[in-house]
């Protein structure tokens, strides 16, 4: 049964006479067809695009790349036999187009290709990650990420300090930025400082600033990060790496709400909300004498814990697709999907570097991929067929297989539990029971 015409929109760009001869037949099988020039193509939304690719386009391909990237649908190239023989045309078409046709048209093949492209465009649309200025920051529908978003909504309006804890790469700075964005200070500065990335002899000046002549090289007054955050939010990343001497100075500021620049003696009142983050065990650091207990209680008024990626079941493919789209713009390549082997390899990987590692591997995969899809080896992961699982009892194998099946189906169908259960051939109540058994979601 044909889709309604309004849902099967075809845009033919820079059409030739052969293209115009296609129109009656395409409209007869349910396509709503429009034609336009390349420079106005983005003004016409469509489900599938057909571009009469000419030598001029190939000599200056940036306009074609821009159209395909920004239209976010599938495109089919139409070329003459002469254009097909041009240098590098094959690589360009394979990189940017869903398929191609040479003139004269094989009408039946064109209709089949358009149907396949329409189906792929709809799949791409359903699985697309909405990327805007803020919403991409905490992507995911797993239980940990849903609970995190709910918690941040409660904590953001308060003025209390928040300690953000979690492994490296789990998005602690994104949490801090979200707290700031949702707070009443959102239109004031957000100042971040990584306490572990600044040389120890410069940290005091970076945090508190200095007066002219305070030390050798201090040729002019410097406003510190704390003062620069006045009225807004100060984010102290890797607070566990702050030297003990500076911990005392920071504690004094939190108590008295004013600072003194290095080399100065004039107290400067500063109003900031302090957010701190760490991946180290601060309680253990206190026991070892490396972190002040009184500062710990000042910072740990409210607490947020970011979940590692290995515990965010169902979010992996969503995040991978997001990064594939995000970095495709940077690399100048078309967004690629992931092969089944790549998805399986990602599902088995432990992700010690968490979301940051995933982003870096997808970025690498986009650069290295040679086919239409990103493969496991492009991501620097071992193909699942080559991996040797450790031996164990039969129950161990059953348990492992059951859990992997749940994780795999959630990676594909995290937005619809009924479909996920149906794919596994079990009832929805049984599906939820197994999720609870394996502590997933």
What CATH code is carried by the domain that includes residue 332? Answer: 1.10.8.60
* Residue 127: per-residue pLDDT: 38
Instruction: Select from 275, 207, 192 the least CA-distant residue to 242.
Output: 207
Q: Do residue 39 and residue 94 come from a single domain? A: yes
Q: Do residue 364 and residue 400 come from a single domain? A: no
Question: Which of 276, 307, 338 is at the close of a domain?
Answer: 307
DSSP letter for each residue of 380-428: T---GGG--PPP--HHHHHHHHHHHHHHHHHHHHTT-HHHHHHHHTS-H
Q: Do residue 282 and residue 317 come from a single domain? A: no
The continuous run of DSSP H or E covering 164 comes out as: strand 162-165
How many Cα atoms occupy the beta-carbon half-sphere of 314 within 13 Å?
A: 20
Q: Which domain holds residue 379?
A: 310-387
Strand order through the sheet with 99-102: 32-36, 9-13, 48-52, 74-79, 99-102
Q: Do residue 198 and residue 234 come from a single domain? A: yes
CB 208 within 8 A of CB 224: yes
Instruction: Select from 164, 195, 160, 196 the least CA-distant residue to 177.
Output: 164
Q: What is the CA radius of gyration of the chain?
A: 28
Q: Do residue 153 and residue 275 come from a single domain? A: yes
* Residue 128: per-residue pLDDT: 39
Max intra-chain CA distance, the chain: 84
Number of domains in the chain: 4
* Residue 156: per-residue pLDDT: 94
Q: Do residue 368 and residue 380 come from a single domain? A: yes
* Residue 204: per-residue pLDDT: 83
Question: Which of 283, 307, 331 is at the close of a domain?
Answer: 307
Question: Which of 74, 96, 127 is at the close of a domain?
Answer: 127
* Residue 120: per-residue pLDDT: 72
CB 21 within 8 A of CB 27: no
Secondary structure letter of residue 376 according to DSSP: G
* Residue 387: per-residue pLDDT: 52
* Residue 51: per-residue pLDDT: 94
- Token couple for 171: 């998005």
| pTM of the full structure | 0.61
What is the C-alpha separation between 418 and 377, in angstroms, rounded?
33
The continuous run of DSSP H or E covering 153 comes out as: helix 143-155
Q: Do residue 26 and residue 53 come from a single domain? A: yes
* Residue 6: per-residue pLDDT: 44
For each of the chain's 441 residues, which pLDDT tens digit applies? 344 434 688 999 999 988 988 888 888 888 889 999 998 898 888 889 999 998 888 887 888 888 887 887 889 999 988 888 887 788 788 778 888 888 888 888 888 888 888 877 776 554 333 444 344 457 888 889 989 999 999 999 999 999 999 999 999 999 999 999 999 999 999 999 888 888 777 888 888 888 887 677 677 778 888 989 999 999 999 999 888 888 998 999 999 999 888 887 888 999 999 999 999 899 999 999 999 999 999 999 999 999 999 988 788 888 898 888 888 766 667 778 888 889 889 988 999 999 999 999 998 898 888 877 899 999 999 876 555 545 567 777 777 788 888 877 776 776 677 777 888 888 888 887 888 777 676
DSSP letter for each residue of 253-311: HHHHSEE--BT----EE---EEEEEESS-HHHHHHTTSS-HHHHHHH-SEEEEPPPGGG
Q: Kindly provide the residue ranges of all beta strands, DSSP E only, lying in 4-96, ordered along the sequence.
A: 9-13, 32-36, 48-52, 74-79
What CATH code is carried by the domain that includes residue 66? Answer: 3.40.50.2300
What CATH code is carried by the domain that includes residue 213? Answer: 3.40.50.300
What is the C-alpha separation between 303 and 380, in angstroms, rounded?
35
* Residue 379: per-residue pLDDT: 93
Q: Do residue 362 and residue 429 come from a single domain? A: no
What is the C-alpha separation between 157 and 183, in angstroms, rounded?
5
Q: Do residue 240 and residue 161 come from a single domain? A: yes
- Token couple for 370: 């040679």
* Residue 74: per-residue pLDDT: 87
Q: Do residue 149 and residue 188 come from a single domain? A: yes
Burial class of residue 57, CB neighbours in 10 A (0-12, 13-18, 19+): buried
CB 248 within 8 A of CB 208: no
* Residue 133: per-residue pLDDT: 39
Burial class of residue 125, CB neighbours in 10 A (0-12, 13-18, 19+): exposed
What CATH code is carried by the domain that includes residue 429? Answer: 1.10.10
Q: Do residue 153 and residue 302 come from a single domain? A: yes
What is the C-alpha separation between 200 and 202, in angstroms, rounded?
5
Tell how far CA 112 is from the center of its chain. 34
Q: Do residue 236 and residue 266 come from a single domain? A: yes
């Amino acid at each position: 049964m044909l889709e309604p015409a309004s849902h099967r929109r075809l845009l033919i760009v820079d059409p030739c006479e052969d293209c115009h001869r296609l129109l009656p037949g395409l409209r007869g099988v349910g396509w709503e067809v429009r034609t336009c020039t390349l420079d106005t193509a983005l003004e016409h939304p469509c489900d599938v695009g057909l571009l009469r690719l000419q030598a001029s386009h190939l000599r200056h391909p940036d306009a074609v790349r821009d159209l395909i990237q920004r239209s976010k649908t599938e495109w089919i190239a139409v070329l003459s036999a002469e254009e097909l023989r041009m240098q590098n045309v094959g690589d360009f078409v394979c990189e940017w187009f869903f398929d191609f046709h040479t003139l004269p048209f094989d009408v039946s093949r064109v209709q089949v290709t358009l149907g396949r492209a329409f189906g792929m465009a709809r799949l791409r649309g359903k699985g697309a990650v909405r990327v805007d200025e803020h919403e991409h920051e905490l992507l995911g529908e797993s239980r940990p990420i849903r609970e995190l978003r709910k918690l941040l909504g409660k904590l953001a309006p308060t003025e209390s300090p928040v300690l953000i804890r979690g492994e490296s790469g789990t998005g602690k700075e994104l949490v801090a930025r979200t707290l700031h964005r949702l707070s009443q200070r959102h239109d004031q500065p957000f100042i971040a400082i990584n306490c572990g990335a600044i040389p120890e002899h410069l940290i005091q000046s970076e945090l508190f600033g200095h007066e002219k002549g305070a030390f050798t090289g201090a040729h002019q007054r410097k406003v510190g990060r704390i003062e620069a955050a006045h009225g807004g939010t100060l984010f102290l990343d890797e607070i566990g790496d702050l030297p003990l001497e500076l911990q005392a100075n920071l504690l004094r500021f939190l108590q008295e709400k004013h600072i003194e620049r290095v080399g100065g003696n004039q107290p400067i009142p500063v109003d900031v909300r302090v957010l701190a983050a760490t991946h180290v065990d601060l309680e253990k650091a206190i026991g070892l004498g490396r972190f002040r207990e009184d500062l710990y209680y000042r910072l740990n008024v409210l607490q947020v814990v970011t979940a590692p990626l290995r515990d965010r079941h169902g979010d992996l493919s969503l995040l991978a697709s997001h990064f594939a789209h995000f970095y495709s713009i940077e690399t100048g390549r078309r967004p690629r999907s992931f092969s089944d082997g790549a998805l399986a390899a990602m599902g088995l990987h432990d992700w010690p570097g968490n979301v940051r590692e995933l982003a870096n591997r997808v970025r690498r995969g986009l650069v290295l991929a040679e086919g239409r899809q990103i493969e496991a080896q492009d991501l620097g992961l071992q193909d699942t067929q080559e991996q040797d699982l450790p031996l164990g009892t039969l129950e161990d194998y059953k348990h492992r297989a059951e859990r992997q099946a749940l994780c795999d189906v959630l990676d594909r169908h995290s937005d619809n539990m009924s479909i996920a259960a149906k794919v596994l051939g079990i009832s929805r109540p049984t599906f939820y029971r197994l999720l609870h058994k394996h502590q997933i979601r």
